Amino acid sequence: MRRAGTALLAACAAVVTLTSVAAAPAPGRGRDGGGGGLGPCTGTAPVVCHLDVAPGTYRVRVRLGGGPQAGSTSVTAEARRTMLAETPNAAGETVRRAFTVDVRDPEGEPTGATGSPGLDLTFGGAAPRLASLEAVRVRTPQLLLAGDSTVCDQASAPYTGWGQQLPQYLSDRISVSNYADSGESSQSFRDNPALFPALRARIRPGDLVLVQLAHNDKQTDRDTYRANLRAMVEDVRAEGGRPVLVTPIVRRWFNADGTLDNGTALLVNGLGVDLPAEIRALSGELRTPLVDLTALTRARVEELGPEGSKALYLYDEKRDNTHTSARGASEYAALVLGELRGQGLVPDRAVR
């Protein structure tokens, strides 16, 4: 929304502003229709800011730098969502950036801890330099995510879902609402009121809804699996949304020849159901866009090989060949966005 529309927006949404916070904690000031305000920013490296706002979608505008020292600043929001990759500024240079944040309760995984009310922003990086910030409640197109632990907003490092890293690649013209949740199968995600039903209630006409569910369908039979995905596609369309089926990221499970050509890596479940193949087939039958993330991540893992690919997963930290590191999640989020952009599902103006 243009700044010229702020007078209209103020009647129904919050506007909070804070200036000159990088050098020291600042109490800030704010105003909104409900009498809310902006809590203090504290610290210098990182700078942590709390905005006392109601749930909703907020466009955050920040000024970085402007002082006598060079800086390098990254931004995370709420449950460790990466909103801005490390951004340098030269001494005396001011850099302006904007992004949108989905503020909701719970702020991370839908079945996880509630978190704190309002909007929390952390300005980190090698040398964070926050000069000012403003948050305005807005209504933007949404990109909603249905998925498992490989997608979700993971609460604790080093675990990182690709949905958690996706916002850093997007402009303030679109918001990411991540309803992915650890341990969920296609059936449990569909059935739990906090998951697909809550996501469905958020869908507005034209919104994208990405569905990646397979890792926990270890004993789901073919007919049930297809029925669950079909039902979610149909429900998204009933709300005017645009469903996108996403095949799961591969497990880092190599054959002796350095390939991932095995059922463990490629998500063939315990009943012999080739889950990515079923997703591909269903995409064609339902004429639903497909992001073949299985194929994309397989190519990347095989390219790096058994040793280099360890950095994409939590092998060194946890001997975990399923869950991704921050680097892996960032790379896989970029692959997803590349496919969405290539298919014309996300316009160029929505990409940073």
The answer for residues whose C-beta is within 8 angstroms of residue 138's C-beta and 6 or more apart is 1, 9, 13, 57, 58, 59, 100
> What's the predicted TM-score (pTM) here?
0.90
Query: In the prediction, which pLDDT does 340 show?
Result: 98
Query: In the prediction, which pLDDT does 18 show?
Result: 57
Strand partners, 313: 324
Query: In the prediction, which pLDDT does 40 show?
Result: 77
Sign for the CA dihedral angle at 22, 27, 33, 34 comes to: positive
Query: In the prediction, which pLDDT does 17 show?
Result: 58
CA 109 to chain centre: 11
CA angle 273, 279, 285 (to 5 degrees): 120
For residue 349, give the DSSP letter: G
Query: In the prediction, which pLDDT does 33 show?
Result: 29
Sign for the CA dihedral angle at 313, 315, 320, 322 comes to: positive
Query: In the prediction, which pLDDT does 35 show?
Result: 30
Query: In the prediction, which pLDDT does 66 show?
Result: 92
pLDDT tens digits in sequence order for the chain, 352 residues long: 333 333 333 333 445 555 444 333 333 333 332 333 334 799 999 999 999 999 999 999 999 999 999 999 999 999 999 999 999 999 999 999 999 999 999 999 999 988 889 999 999 999 999 999 999 999 999 999 999 999 999 999 999 999 999 999 999 999 999 999 999 999 999 999 999 999 999 999 999 999 999 999 999 999 999 999 999 999 999 999 999 999 999 999 999 999 999 999 999 999 999 999 999 999 999 999 999 999 999 999 999 999 999 999 999 999 999 999 999 999 999 999 999 999 999 999 999 9
